[in-house]
A = this chain, B = another copy of it.
Amino acid sequence: MGQDLLGVLFGDPFAVMNTIGLLAFALVGSSKAIREEFDLLGITVVGLAMAFAGGATRDLLVTRVPLALQSPIEIALGLLGVGLAIALSVVLTAPDTHPITLVADAIGLAAFTTTGAIVATDAGVSAFGVVAIATINAVGGGAFADILLDRSPFILFDDFYASCAVLGGSTYFLAGVVGVTGSTAAGLCAAVTVLTRLAAVTR
């Protein structure tokens, strides 16, 4: 874990974005389960499902064992996000619609769009593949959480949510085309995704 923390501090963009995304999406998923009055097990399952489902699908698409099953840090970060949601629910009355949760969701969306774009680019897929995997990484967790919560996952496509990930993933690919890579490309991808999403939410 020490090595990974160093990776975060010294700027491995995948590690930074993955850490942010896991915390944010576990928090958001658990908040939704708290709103639906799930018990502690249910809150944990939905939080972890939202944190891990997108990245696991991404890993399967590039044919590697899902990171969430390999690294103990992943599960620790997910559980930390679940704990944060429970702490927030003590303080707030409607945690799932509170601005903190909406912002966390936008941040998680941006972080996972970026991890998806990084992994897809490293796997050498086509331009369409980069955008598709970035979007699946970003939206997969929320879609799976919605299924567990017995909501339709397709609202994600109505509400300018998946589209933000498409824009972010396209930004990452285009940045690479013009020679911008690494942390700068990751930052651009995350910025485009989070800003378009926050614009849609606050509209």
Chain B residues whose CB sits within 8 angstroms of the CB of A154 once the complex forms = 148, 150
Dominant secondary structure at the A interface:
helix
Please tell me if A138 contacts chain B, counting CB pairs below 8 Å. no
Contact B128 A72 (CB under 8 A): yes
Q: Mark A31-56, 1 if CB is under 8 A from B, else 0.
A: 00000000000100100000000001
Closest residue on chain B to residue A154 by CB atoms? B148
> With A60-B61, A63-B63, A128-B75 as given contacts, are A69 and B157 in contact (CB-CB < 8 Å)?
no
Please tell me if A82 contacts chain B, counting CB pairs below 8 Å. no
Chain B residues whose CB sits within 8 angstroms of the CB of A80 once the complex forms = none
Chain B residues whose CB sits within 8 angstroms of the CB of A61 once the complex forms = 56, 60, 65-66, 69
Chain B residues whose CB sits within 8 angstroms of the CB of A63 once the complex forms = 60, 63-65
> With A61-B65, A63-B65 as given contacts, are A70 and B157 in contact (CB-CB < 8 Å)?
no
Contact B132 A69 (CB under 8 A): yes
Query: For chain A, which range describes its interface: under 10, 10 to 19, 20 to 34, or 35 or more residues?
Result: 20 to 34
Please tell me if A9 contacts chain B, counting CB pairs below 8 Å. no
Contact A70 B125 (CB under 8 A): yes
Shortest distance from the beta carbon of A89 to any chain B beta carbon, whole Å: 21
Task: Give the complex CA separation of A132 and B124 in angstroms.
Answer: 29
Task: Give the complex CA separation of A42 and B162 in angstroms.
Answer: 12
B-facing residues in A61-110 (Cβ within 8 Å): 61-66, 68-72, 74-75
Chain B residues whose CB sits within 8 angstroms of the CB of A70 once the complex forms = 124-126, 129
Task: Give the complex CA separation of A183 and B69 in angstroms.
Answer: 24
Please tell me if A127 contacts chain B, counting CB pairs below 8 Å. yes
Task: Give the complex CA separation of A126 and B148 in angstroms.
Answer: 24
Please tell me if A133 contacts chain B, counting CB pairs below 8 Å. yes
Contact A65 B125 (CB under 8 A): yes
Please tell me if A123 contacts chain B, counting CB pairs below 8 Å. yes
Chain B residues whose CB sits within 8 angstroms of the CB of A120 once the complex forms = 69
